[in-house]
């Protein structure tokens, strides 16, 4: 039976690094929205002329396409790793239900990293910019990270057991 793996955590928590290891471990297909976004559109997340680019709109479209592919791949019996962040419990619950409907197993991989460490990692990523970043990470403002931190709903112990 195939398994749907969700990489859950805040930006800079190491989700993509861990997902790449799991890809080999489970012989799974890794779908990372930021990496595909980068290949198609570059690093268009920076603020330009005091306005954000269409990063979120593009990210949502890319993730929608990846969800469609994940559904098909799971029905073929192949594990899928979705590396989207999944900050909200309702979103994780929807994916859990979808996996169940497809007859697939479901697993959350939670990257629990202290906020102080997230800020250190954010600084390292942002120092690479404007150099070409090609590892699936994007420069992000401290304010954007703070917003993610304030909205993040960490998985409950019950979620992690399921």
Task: Quick: pLDDT tens for 61-107.
Answer: 888 999 999 999 999 999 999 998 899 999 999 999 999 999 999 99
The answer, yes or no, to whether residue 128 has pLDDT greater than 50, is: yes
Per-residue pLDDT, averaged over 108-118, amounts to 97
The answer, yes or no, to whether residue 47 has pLDDT greater than 50, is: no
How much is the pTM?
Answer: 0.87
Tokens coding 35: 């990496």
How many structural domains is the chain composed of? 1
Identify the CATH number of the domain in which residue 48 sits: 3.40.50.300
Q: Which domain holds residue 57?
A: 3-161
Tokens coding 121: 């990692």
pLDDT of amino acid 34: 79
How many angstroms from the chain centroid is the CA of residue 61?
A: 14
Per-residue pLDDT, averaged over 22-49, amounts to 77
Distance CA 57, CA 45 (A): 11
Going across the sheet that includes 105-110, the strands are: 29-32, 80-85, 3-8, 105-110
Average pLDDT of the chain, as a whole number: 86
């Amino acid at each position: 039976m195939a398994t749907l793996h969700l990489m859950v955590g805040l930006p800079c928590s190491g989700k993509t690094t861990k997902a790449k290891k799991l890809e080999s471990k489970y012989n799974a297909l890794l779908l990372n929205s930021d990496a595909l976004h980068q290949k198609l559109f570059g690093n268009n997340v920076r603020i330009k002329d005091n306005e954000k680019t269409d990063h979120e709109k593009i990210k949502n479209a890319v993730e929608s396409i990846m969800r469609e592919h994940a559904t098909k791949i799971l029905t073929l019996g192949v594990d899928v790793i979705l590396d989207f962040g999944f900050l909200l419990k309702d979103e994780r619950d929807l994916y859990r239900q979808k996996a169940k409907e497809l007859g697939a197993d479901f697993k959350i991989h939670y990257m629990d990293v202290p906020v102080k460490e997230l800020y250190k990692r954010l600084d390292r990523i942002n120092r690479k910019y404007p150099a070409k970043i090609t590892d699936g990470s994007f420069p992000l403002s401290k304010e954007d990270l703070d917003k993610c931190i304030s909205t993040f709903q960490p998985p409950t112990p019950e979620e992690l057991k399921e």
